[in-house]
């Protein structure tokens, strides 16, 4: 039987995981997780299958038992990018609906693509080591054998032993308020977590290190290094609960119990990872001005889109991220005013234009549904799923009317809660809902939708009319910089938000004729963006300086690449540096590569043309 996820080698159509339990020791000396995983798996077929096939990639397996009996098993040949399927014999099979328990003794290896181990020197206070996981999209299989597909969702139990406090993508079993303070640093302690809402393997998450917590809302804490705790608490305590409440009004009550945030070390490769219970977030959001907290409107939205309702394969990734961007912008609009919805959409459009240009407007990877046969989802990753997905939903919103679309939102998430779906099931859900509504005008409008065009046409979608009130000031200032005689003043940007500064800088980046090196340095100095506390703003300025071929900035860029590990910053900076001075770009990557997460490192190697 074939599955509908081309990125999984498992036979989950024949056997489906109903529960996963992990029991791991986090060994900082050996830099490995070791222990066991127990998979409770249900037979799905009338014709009895005599073999369970699981995804695995560079894991070390020592023993497998099926229902407490020794099992015959074989790890087949490794192929990129999906790994080595693990075949486990089930002699005689079992009847459809019956369960087996498979216990696998396993440990991770130094080729694990999901884990990053940080030395004390790589952490904020330099005292203790740190480790964290990043399993999305197909890296869970490098931690333990599993059905590593978003089409498979099940509850999880975690039992994790570590010398340092632990967080995981489940609810802590015990004293939730004080569990990070219960253990002495350096003394091995067992931490237990339960995730009762079914999740796919890519949402398995664990982190351990010198972690302290502080409350930032009635159902939320922030966890981070002790030195950063006060600043992180201040940055987040105003907005997290507001965003949760706005999301609940838009969809329905939050179903995960807690929404917590773990502020990661700088090498974390993403802005945020929507691990249930604990969002893992870049430290770049802690800018001291509460200007970057919109990230959490996005991660909170994943509590419905992606985590509760999930794309069945990475070919339909837009169902996770397009919906999440749409919900994020609705939340921010509800909290900060509708103009913010449009301003965020304009920022997103600019990033979509950049990625379409990077791939090429006719490239397969600029389609909404992308063929993933023998394709690593990391190679496809861009803003296309996020922004092109958003624009499909915004088009539907405008087509049927906001009031009508707001009735569809909770219907969709209720219908698919706890399940996974593809784009065609989304289409059918949308069409059925509005045909059943009985509004003749709406029926006529939706009948004219060319779904094949929406799903498979590469390049940019039609650009909608958006309110440019907040963006116009940014565009007007940028246009002034086209005149070499323009004399800037700090007053030009003193009323700008961080996002407005970013829009201004990104507009300058797009000038057909770059600024001269002298003008670029003047911009950085007068507007205080060269030394901004906002990672977004500082990085955007550096891209202007590199495009201007300002050799005076090169040392700063190389140093900065050793302080930011987020893919969003590392890739464009290395690509831009490569155009100015290839050898310096190669040297910078070589210098900092161990600082980067394996996912980020692999992408950068491909950008620089040095991938194995």
pLDDT digits 0-9 by tens, 514-523: 999 999 999 9
User: Backbone phi, then psi, for 524, in 5-degree steps?
Assistant: -60, -40
Which residues, 6 or more positions from 544, have their beta carbon under 8 angstroms from its beta carbon? 505, 508, 509, 514, 515, 520, 523, 524
Region 309-456: CATH code? 1.10.390.10
Which residues, 6 or more positions from 460, have their beta carbon under 8 angstroms from its beta carbon? 352, 353, 356, 361, 366, 388
Please give the Cα distance from 204 to 255 (Å, whole number): 18
Say yes or no to pLDDT of 1 above 70: no
Contact 361, 330 (CB under 8 A): no
Tell me if 431 is assigned to a ligand binding site: no
Look at the block and give the residue holding tokens 């099926």.
66
Q: Is 332 helix (H, G, I), strand (E, B) or coil?
A: helix
Q: What is the pLDDT of residue 179?
A: 55
Q: What is the pLDDT of residue 184?
A: 61
Contact 130, 119 (CB under 8 A): no
Q: What is the pLDDT of residue 174?
A: 84
Decide which of 242 and 181 is more confident: 242
Tell me if 510 is assigned to a ligand binding site: no
- Out of 3.10.105.10, 1.25.40.320, 3.40.50.2300, 3.50.50.60, select the CATH number for domain 468-608: 1.25.40.320
pLDDT above 90 covers a percentage of the chain that reads 91
Residue ranges covered by each domain of the chain:
1-110+135-199, 309-456, 468-608
Q: What is the mean pLDDT of residues 198-215?
A: 97
Tell me if 136 is assigned to a ligand binding site: yes
Q: What is the mean pLDDT of residues 79-85?
A: 96
Q: Is 471 left (phi over 0), alpha (psi -120 to 50) or beta?
A: alpha
Q: What is the mean pLDDT of residues 104-122?
A: 93
Please give the Cα distance from 151 to 153 (Å, whole number): 7
Look at the block and give the residue holding tokens 């161990």.
594
Residue 227 tokens read as 């030195």
Q: What is the mean pLDDT of residues 111-134?
A: 90
Decide which of 98 and 533 is more confident: 98
Q: What is the pLDDT of residue 387?
A: 98
For residue 598, name the pLDDT band (cuts at 50, 70, 90). confident
Q: What is the mean pLDDT of residues 137-141?
A: 98
Q: CA dihedral defined by 447, 452, 458, 464, rounded to 10 degrees?
A: 10
Residue 357 tokens read as 């240009």
- Do the first three CATH levels of 309-456 and 468-608 match, i.e. the same topology? no
Q: What is the mean pLDDT of residues 561-586?
A: 96
Tell whether domain 1-110+135-199 is in CATH 3.20.20.140: no
Q: What is the mean pLDDT of residues 282-286?
A: 92
Look at the block and give the residue holding tokens 């991770």.
108
Tell me if 207 is assigned to a ligand binding site: no
CA angle (572, 575, 576) in 5-degree steps? 85
Residue 138 tokens read as 């197909």
Please give the Cα distance from 129 to 349 (Å, whole number): 40
Q: What is the mean pLDDT of residues 468-485?
A: 95
Please give the Cα distance from 568 to 578 (Å, whole number): 16
Tell me if 199 is assigned to a ligand binding site: no
Q: How many CB atoms lie under 10 A from the CB of residue 178?
A: 10
Mean pLDDT over the full length of the chain: 95
CA angle (258, 259, 265) in 5-degree steps? 130
* Span 10-41, pLDDT tens digits: 999 999 999 999 999 999 999 999 999 999 99
Q: Sort 7 into a burial class: Cβ within 10 Å, 0-12 / 13-18 / 19+.
A: buried
Please give the Cα distance from 385 to 325 (Å, whole number): 10
Q: What is the pLDDT of residue 597?
A: 87
Tell me if 273 is assigned to a ligand binding site: yes
Say yes or no to pLDDT of 124 above 80: no
Contact 422, 318 (CB under 8 A): no
Q: What is the pLDDT of residue 123?
A: 83
Please give the Cα distance from 61 to 64 (Å, whole number): 8
Q: What is the DSSP letter of 388?
A: I
Q: What is the pLDDT of residue 182?
A: 47
What residues are annotated to the active site? 299, 386
Q: What is the mean pLDDT of residues 77-95?
A: 96
Tell me if 321 is assigned to a ligand binding site: yes
Q: What is the pLDDT of residue 125?
A: 77
Say yes or no to pLDDT of 428 above 50: yes
Contact 25, 15 (CB under 8 A): no
* Span 156-202, pLDDT tens digits: 999 999 999 999 999 999 876 655 554 567 789 999 999 999 999 99
Tell me if 567 is assigned to a ligand binding site: yes
Tell me if 357 is assigned to a ligand binding site: no
Tell me if 51 is assigned to a ligand binding site: no
Which residues, 6 or more positions from 493, have their beta carbon under 8 angstroms from its beta carbon? 477, 500, 501, 504, 527
- E strand or H helix at 344, and its extent? helix 338-359
Say yes or no to pLDDT of 42 above 50: yes
Q: How many CB atoms lie under 10 A from the CB of residue 450?
A: 8
Q: What is the pLDDT of residue 183?
A: 52
Say yes or no to pLDDT of 81 above 70: yes
Tell me if 78 is assigned to a ligand binding site: no
Tell me if 271 is assigned to a ligand binding site: yes
* Span 341-356, pLDDT tens digits: 999 999 999 899 999 9
Contact 574, 542 (CB under 8 A): no
Look at the block and give the residue holding tokens 């996770």.
320
Tell me if 134 is assigned to a ligand binding site: yes
Q: What is the pLDDT of residue 430?
A: 98
* Span 491-510, pLDDT tens digits: 999 999 888 999 999 999 99
Q: What is the pLDDT of residue 248?
A: 98
- CA dist list (Å): 451 to 396, 399, 455: 11, 14, 6
Q: What is the mean pLDDT of residues 361-368?
A: 97
Please give the Cα distance from 327 to 304 (Å, whole number): 9
Please give the Cα distance from 487 to 511 (Å, whole number): 18
Q: What is the mean pLDDT of residues 420-434?
A: 98
Q: Sort 127 into a burial class: Cβ within 10 Å, 0-12 / 13-18 / 19+.
A: middle
User: Backbone phi, then psi, for 26, in 5-degree steps?
Assistant: -95, 105
């Amino acid at each position: 039987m074939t599955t509908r996820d081309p990125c999984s080698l498992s036979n989950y159509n024949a056997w489906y995981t109903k529960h996963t339990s992990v029991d791991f020791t986090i060994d900082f000396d050996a830099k490995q997780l070791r222990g066991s995983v127990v998979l409770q798996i249900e037979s799905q077929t009338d014709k009895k299958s005599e073999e369970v096939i699981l995804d695995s990639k560079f894991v070390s397996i020592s023993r497998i038992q099926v229902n407490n009996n020794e099992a015959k098993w074989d790890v087949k040949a490794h192929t990129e990018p999906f790994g080595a399927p693990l075949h486990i014999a089930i002699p005689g099979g079992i009847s459809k609906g019956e369960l087996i328990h498979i216990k696998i003794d396993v440990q991770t290896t130094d080729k694990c693509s999901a884990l990053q181990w940080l030395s004390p020197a790589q952490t904020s206070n330099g005292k203790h080591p740190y480790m964290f996981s990043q399993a999305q999209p197909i890296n869970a299989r490098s931690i333990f054998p599993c059905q590593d597909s978003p089409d498979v969702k099940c509850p999880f139990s975690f039992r994790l032993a570590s010398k340092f406090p632990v967080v995981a993508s489940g609810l802590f079993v015990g004293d939730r308020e004080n569990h990070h303070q219960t253990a002495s640093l350096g003394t091995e302690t067992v931490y237990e977590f339960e995730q009762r809402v079914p999740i796919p393997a890519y949402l398995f998450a664990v982190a351990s290190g010198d972690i302290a917590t502080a409350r930032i809302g009635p159902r939320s804490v922030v966890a981070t290094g002790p030195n950063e705790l006060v600043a992180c608490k201040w940055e987040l305590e105003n907005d997290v609960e507001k965003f949760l409440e706005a999301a609940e009004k838009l969809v329905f009550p939050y179903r995960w119990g807690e929404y917590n945030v773990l502020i990661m070390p700088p090498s974390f490769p993403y802005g945020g990872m929507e691990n249930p219970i604990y969002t893992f977030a870049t430290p770049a959001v802690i800018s001291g001005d509460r200007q970057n907290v919109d990230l959490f409107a996005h991660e909170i939205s994943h509590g419905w889109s992606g985590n509760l309702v999930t794309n069945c394969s990475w070919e339909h990734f837009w169902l996770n991220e397009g919906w999440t961007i749409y919900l994020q912008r609705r939340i921010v609009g509800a909290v900060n005013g509708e103009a913010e919805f449009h301003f965020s959409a304009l920022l997103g459009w600019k990033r979509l234009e950049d990625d379409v240009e990077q791939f090429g407007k006719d490239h397969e990877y600029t389609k909404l549904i992308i063929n993933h046969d023998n394709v690593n989802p990391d190679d496809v990753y861009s803003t296309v799923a996020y922004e092109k997905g958003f624009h499909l939903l915004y088009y539907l919103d405008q087509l049927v009317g906001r009031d009508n679309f707001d009735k569809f939102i909770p219907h969709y998430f209720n219908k698919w809660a706890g399940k996974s779906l593809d784009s065609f099931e989304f289409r059918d859900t949308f069409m059925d809902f509005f045909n059943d509504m009985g509004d003749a005008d709406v029926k006529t409008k939706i009948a004219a939708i060319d779904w094949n065009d929406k799903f498979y046409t590469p390049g940019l979608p039609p650009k909608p009319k958006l309110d440019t009130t907040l963006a116009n000031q940014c565009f007007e200032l940028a246009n002034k910089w086209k005149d070499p005689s323009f004399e800037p003043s700090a007053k030009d940007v003193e009323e700008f938000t961080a996002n407005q500064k970013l829009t201004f800088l990104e507009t300058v980046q797009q000038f057909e004729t770059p600024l001269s090196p002298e003008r670029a340095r003047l911009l950085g100095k007068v507007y205080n963006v060269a030394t901004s506390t906002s990672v977004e703003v500082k990085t955007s300025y550096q891209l202007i300086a590199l495009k201007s071929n300002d050799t005076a900035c090169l040392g700063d860029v190389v140093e900065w690449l050793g302080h930011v590990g987020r893919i969003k910053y590392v890739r464009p900076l290395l690509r831009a540096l490569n155009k100015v001075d290839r050898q310096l770009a190669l040297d910078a990557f070589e210098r900092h590569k161990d600082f980067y997460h394996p996912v980020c490192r692999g992408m950068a190697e491909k950008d620089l043309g040095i991938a194995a």
